[in-house]
């Protein structure tokens, strides 16, 4: 396994686990309006993205060049890009979260480019 595979695999794992931890902490602190159907759908999408990212990280560390791994990485990173672009509108009063989401977008695009460039 090459250095770029480690970066992609660990980034996917870290983001997937990070999503679960972030939303888990907000749920425990009762900071998620579960009565809002839009938020419930958003939450489901976030946990789906987390599962895809964790699967992509594990698959990359197991066999980075397998066709299924490449599809899983593309799916996971694509969902993360979507979340990073769509989510700032949910936090109009939380500037730090919005900045973090734009940084996440830049890093995710860089990791995706790394994966594509090193195949």
For residue 91, is pLDDT > 90? Answer: no
Token couple for 80? 């993360």
For 47-71, what is each residue's pLDDT tens digit?
999 999 999 999 999 999 999 999 9
If you count DSSP H runs as helices and E runs as strands, how many of each does the chain have, helices first?
A: 4, 0
Token couple for 118? 């090193």
**How far does CA 22 lie from the centroid of its chain?**
11
pLDDT of 44 reads 95
For residue 119, is pLDDT > 90? Answer: no
| Rounded Cα distance, 52 and 78, in Å | 10
| Rounded Cα distance, 106 and 81, in Å | 9
CA-based max dimension of the chain: 46
Token couple for 97? 């979260």
Q: Which domain holds residue 40?
A: 3-117
Number of domains in the chain: 1
For 33-44, what is each residue's pLDDT tens digit?
999 998 999 999
CA distances from 61 to 8, 16, 110 (A): 9, 14, 19
pLDDT of 4 reads 95
For residue 90, is pLDDT > 90? Answer: no
User: What pTM value is reported for the model?
Assistant: 0.93
């Amino acid at each position: 396994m090459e250095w770029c595979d480690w970066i992609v695999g660990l980034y996917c794992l870290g983001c997937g686990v990070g999503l679960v931890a972030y939303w888990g902490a907000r749920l425990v602190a009762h900071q998620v309006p579960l009565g809002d159907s839009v938020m419930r759908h958003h939450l489901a999408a976030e946990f789906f993205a987390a599962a895809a990212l964790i699967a992509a990280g594990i698959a990359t560390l197991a066999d980075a060049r397998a066709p299924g791994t490449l599809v899983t990485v593309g799916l996971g990173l694509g969902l993360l890009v979507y979340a990073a672009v769509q989510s700032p509108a949910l936090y109009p009063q939380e500037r730090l979260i919005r900045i973090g989401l734009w940084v996440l977008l830049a890093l995710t695009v860089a990791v995706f480019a790394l994966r594509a460039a090193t195949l």
